[in-house]
Amino acid sequence: MHSDPLTRRAILALAAGATLAVAFAGSAWAQAPSQPARIGIIGAGNIGGTLGGLWARAGHQVMLSSRHPEDLKSLVEGLGPNARAGTPAEAIAFGDVVLVAVPYKAYPQIALDHGAALKGKIVIDAGNATQARDGEVYGEVQAGGIAAVSAKYLAGARIVRAFNAANYKLFAKNAHREGGRMAIPLAGDDPKAVAEVSKLVTDAGFDPVVVGPLATADSFAMGSPGFGLELTAPDLRARFGVTP
């Protein structure tokens, strides 16, 4: 493992999840060819717009959402014929997979408004908590870890933490890069959900690295040593101490 210090909670979770990570990577779902998916995106900001565009260009059907979807007309037109706009409720109903890409302070409201609809869905949780923006929810994350707080507000969803470990500008810059793709760390408790999200990571132009179960997501949350890295998959695996 790399010498950078990880939090005690993250170290314990990584150790517990090493075997599970190997099982995810070797599952039948991970070997299956990628098929076009329907992806609903809650939010249409920097992360949602960037990933939505990458997936639309890869042939997936994407719905970005806002409470005022008419405001997204120019954005979705710029992303091509595979992109469309809707409300958050419409995006959740549309998606085989749902990307949550909103400020973390919005998670309690998402739970109230859409918690029932998200139950059983594969949810890519790309949120990060910041002190200046997210208030009380940031305090929850500091106390219990972001994996536990996401599990609380997205209860019943098949959560995979992914695309939260870097600024969106790094995704835009490094998608499909030559000379060794940028690796994206993932963590989740549902092997099939992790494998499906891994395929979407690949389709977006990156290499997925499964770190372990959901609790290990604290090791690549904002502010951790695993955040903001532009490493290849072998180097990222070495950093987190996981095997292919």
CATH of the domain at 29: 3.40.50.720
Would residue 164 count as lying in a domain? yes
pLDDT tens digits for range 29-52: 333 346 899 999 999 999 999 999
pLDDT recorded at residue 4: 40
pLDDT tens digits for range 204-236: 999 999 999 999 999 999 999 999 999 999 999
Q: Which domain holds residue 212?
A: 8-240
Question: For the chain, how many structural domains are there in total?
Answer: 1
Would residue 163 count as lying in a domain? yes
Would residue 2 count as lying in a domain? no
Residue 216: name the closest of 186, 237, 183 by CA: 186
Mean pLDDT of the residues in the chain: 88
pTM (predicted TM-score): 0.85
pLDDT tens digits for range 148-176: 999 999 999 999 999 999 999 999 999 99
Centroid of chain to Cα 90: 20
Would residue 161 count as lying in a domain? yes
Q: Which segments within 57-131 are labelled E, that is strand? A: 61-65, 83-86, 97-100, 122-125
Find the mean pLDDT for residues 193-198.
Answer: 98
For residue 70, pLDDT beyond 70? yes
